[in-house]
Amino acid sequence: MKFMKLGSRPDIFYTKDSVRSVSSEVSSDLIIQVKGTRYLLHKFPLLSKCLHLQRLCLESLDSGNHQIVQLPDFPGGEEAFELCAKFCYGITITLSAYNIVSTRCAAEYLQMTEDAEKGNLIYKLEVFFNSCILRGWKDSVVTLQTTKALSLWSEELSITNRCIEAICSKVLKRVRNEDDISCSGTESLRDKSVRKGWWGEDLAELKIDLYWRIMIALKSDGKMPLNLIGDALKIYASRWLPKTGSDSDSRSEIASKYSLLLESIVNLLPAAKGVVSCSFLLKLLKVANDLKVFSSLKIELVKRVGLQFEEVTVNDLIMVCDVDLVMNILEEFMLQISQSPPTSPQRSRFAFERRRSRSAENVDFELQESRRSSSVSHSSKLKVAKLVDKYLQEVAKDVNLPLDKFVAIAETVPEFARCDHDDLYSAIDTYLKAHPELDKTERKRLCRILDCKKLSISSCMHAAQNELLPLRLVVQVLFFEQARAASSGGKVTNISSNIKALLTSYGIDPSKHAAQLSTSTSIHASDNWSVNGLNSPKNTTLRMKLAEDDFDENNDVEINGIGRSSRFKSFCSLPTKPKRMFSKLWSTNRSTTQKN
């Protein structure tokens, strides 16, 4: 860092009885009170360079052999005044980025201008400031930091603005040079990693008001890469935002301290998608939620996260902790996806007609871009669906998670986005284990979001033996697996031995029911199921088992310690005609029913 020395005489200031004096053969004739310190000095060297002291001496009263001058509001305090006084005596002083602001403000207060004497302190400080301080990166940043203590004086003297302009100029110049090096291919990966964030680390030491002005200036330039703005904001947030939540006693104090800071960081974020990672946005959202800041700020962050939700990891969502926030983000993602223009043949033809005056190449290019955008949206939905199911597996362990919230998150994902339901089944199974207090109605509501047709063989085997699942769902799983085996070759022998054993344990003969299930068999969780497949005499066993399940539900029967096979036997005498409620379970096509 740069420094400048002025004067050549040795230091002759000393302290005696809490008074600062000058060792001299000439008696002092001036007493200057600077805040809590008294100085015994001489009029001649001081008044010859300080116009303000000249005027004060004319207005002040003499006290014996000394004239007293009060300087209660002196900028920079005793240290700055003493530097100016030593300059007047010709004593050597050293100036640097750490003290030039306070010295410059003090010299301005004392009016040490060229009108008092040529080559006065203000002139020398300005030369040093412009030729050395503003040309150095570290000097400019440190000087800008010191303006905080004397903000009004620094603004008045344009010290702050000149530092900001110098810093922004250096950042932009450096970034352009680095881009040139990167394009030339002469930069190594190590050099690239070293230079990344070099300016963000230094600027992160600034308070938010000064940092804000620099970032606004960089963004308004229009040539600064937005991803570098995002990187710098990430460094700054890591430096200043609280890492963990605080106790309730100091929460209000911390909220008031950090709310403005968080709001400023969010407002500085470039609007473009992808300039910062979704993980970083979620960290900001967690801080906002912990601090209980303005709802508008959280809404803004939720929208930003929703815009690039496909980048999120399960750990990121778990870090947020608040299930309601995750639900809001998911809804925002689906809303933004739904608002994107779909690609359809009608739309494509309309676009072709509207652009028929253009060249064929341009039309083809625009249509390809539109399709690519649509496919990205679709892939994002698939990825997010997988993410949500993995997230549900984790939060399902929370014994305090209400069923309504679990189901709401699961149902937010479009049905087509789930290629399979294995992860969803795992989440449901985990939730059932963590919430053994759920009654039958609640368990059925939970399992209604599951599509048995989208379960793998291993998941089907697990579900078929899962005592926590409603019996209705278990029977669906068994018959779907039977149908899958039958559709693969049309022979019951293709059904695995485990499935046969399970069907037999439930009193169902696979050889009698395989023919009734075709590839067109469909079982849905909707309320418009038919009962065609159950009217067959061959399905008496199945109808009675469903009657067993509904009997328990309607009469709130709890049979502790009795397995499903025993419970089934106890209800063998039930009528074979299923109730209307049971008719929602099974659906087969009419032709298959007639054929049987």
Please report, as a single letter, which amino acid is at residue 276.
V
Q: Are 382 and 417 in contact (CB under 8 A)?
A: yes
Give the pLDDT score at 495. 47
User: Whole-angstrom Cα distance, residue 216 to residue 351?
Assistant: 40
The single residue listed with the structure tokens 């940092």 is: 211
**Integer CA distances (angstroms), 226 to 174, 233, 289, 310, in order:** 15, 11, 26, 21
The DSSP annotation for 379-411 comes to: HHHHHHHHHHHHHHHHHTT-TT--HHHHHHHHH
Q: Give pLDDT, residue 508.
A: 58
Angle between the 159-184 and 137-146 helix axes, to the nearest 10 degrees? Answer: 150
Say which residue the tokens 């100091």 belong to: 250
Tell me the three state secondary structure of residue 302. helix
* Token code pair at residue 365: 């290019």
Q: Pairing mode, if any, of strands 3-6 and 37-41?
A: unpaired
**pLDDT for position 573:** 33
Burial class (CB in 10 A: 0-12, 13-18, 19+), 277: middle
CA distances from 14 to 21, 74, 92, 236 (A): 6, 21, 15, 44
Q: How far apart are CA 98 and CA 166, in angstroms?
A: 17
Amino acid 484: pLDDT: 77
Cα 258 to Cα 169, 298, 372, distances in angstroms: 30, 14, 42
Cβ atoms within 10 Å, residue 58 = 9
- Using CB atoms within 10 A of its CB, is residue 574 exposed (0-12), middle (13-18) or buried (19+)? middle
The tens digit of pLDDT for each residue in 134-162 reads 999 999 999 999 999 999 999 999 999 99
Residues 6+ apart with CB under 8 A from 250: none
pLDDT tens digit sequence for 308-324? 998 999 999 999 888 99
Write out the two tokens for 417. Answer: 């986005």
d(CA 594, CA 205): 80
94: amino acid identity, one letter: T
Yes or no: say if 418 and 385 are a contact pair by the CB < 8 Å rule.
yes
Q: Transcribe 520-555 into DSSP letters.
A: T----SSS----GGGSSGGGHHHHHHHHHHHHHHHH
Residue entry with tokens 């937005």: 226
Q: Do residues 183 and 173 lie in contact, with contact meaning Cβ atoms separated by under 8 Å? A: no
Calpha distance 503→542 (Å, rounded)? 10
Sheet holding 13-16, edge to edge: 13-16, 19-22, 37-41, 30-34, 66-71, 62-63
pLDDT of amino acid 31: 93
Token output for 8? 């050549």
Query: For residue 330, what pLDDT is reported?
Result: 92
Give every residue of the chain whose pLDDT is below 50, as ranges: 189-191, 193-194, 248-249, 342-376, 490-495, 513-543, 545, 551, 553-596
pLDDT of residue 489: 61
pTM: 0.75
Contact 471, 443 (CB under 8 A): no
* pLDDT, position 501: 61
Of 51, 75, 61, the closest CA to residue 30 belongs to 61
Dihedral (C-alpha) 121, 127, 130, 136: value to the nearest 10 degrees? -90
* DSSP character at residue 273: T
Per domain, the residue ranges of the chain are: 1-135, 378-489
**SS3 assignment, position 557:** coil
Name the token pair of 490: 């049309």
pLDDT of residue 491: 45
d(CA 245, CA 222): 37
Helix axes 251-268, 226-240, angle to 10 degrees: 170
Report the pLDDT value the prediction gives residue 482, as an integer from 0 to 100.
Answer: 77
DSSP category for residue 584: G
DSSP structural state of residue 498: H
Contact 83, 93 (CB under 8 A): yes
Strand residues in 7-142 grouped as ranges (E): 13-16, 19-22, 30-34, 37-41, 62-63, 66-71, 93-96
- The CATH-assigned architecture of domain 1-135 is 2-Layer Sandwich (3.30)
Sign of the four-CA dihedral 585, 550, 492, 515: negative
Nearest Cα to Cα of residue 547 among 575, 587, 525, 505: 575
